[in-house]
Amino acid sequence: MSKAISKLDPDRFGLSSFADLIAPRDPLIGEVPGVFEAFREGLLQSLLPMTPYECVIAENLVAIEWELFQHRNIRNRLISLSAETAMQKAIIDEYVQLHNLALEEAYDEHIKNGGTDDDWEDPFEFDRDAAVTEVSRICDQALSADLADRQAAHEEILQMGINPNDTLKSGYFNPNFLEEDKLRPHEDAILALEKRRRDVKRDFDLLQMSRPIDGEVVDG
């Protein structure tokens, strides 16, 4: 008996497409148009459902994976925002320190030339607006889609004596996030979704193992 597997025709079940089994998904504001569709198509091509029920379970897996993707993305964005804030503060602090060192040098030169404390005046002020503009440039470059830009920003930050890993740690362990519980809902959702994914994928694998096999009887 032949046991060659063939993809089942939806017409056999009175369907124009197995997708008719699933209610259409409404788009969400904020999603990049077409990303979910490409995500779904890629996973379905990998899962290769061949029966109506396999299609239902496969669509369930797609929904779980997409929700996982969204929660991880939001979680990472929160961490990145916290790390970026810490980075901005570290760079501003570095500029302030450089400014103070320049003032000290100017003061020493003033005293060396016969000046006194009474006639000392700061020769320049800290330009916070310029510093903020420069910080924005560095952070934008550090978040660039271009790898070379990110590497250049990373090197520039290191040359300032700032360890980017320290700011990333502050993103993960930001006390404000812990107090306001911003990350916890996403952490809990990720754990729950990963468990659901394992359970549904196990059911899908068992379903595929017991799928009906098309074949034809041949003379022995």
> pLDDT tens digit string along 135-194?
999 999 998 999 999 999 999 999 988 888 888 777 777 767 655 678 889 999 999 999
- What predicted TM-score, i.e. pTM, was given to this entire model? 0.70
Read off the pLDDT band of 218 (50, 70, 90).
very low
Read off the pLDDT band of 217 (50, 70, 90).
very low
Lowest-pLDDT range of 4-13, 59-68, 135-144: 4-13
Burial 24-37 (b: 16+ CB within 10 A, else e): eeeeeeeeeeeebe
> Residue ranges per domain, the chain?
10-25+32-209
Read off the pLDDT band of 25 (50, 70, 90).
confident
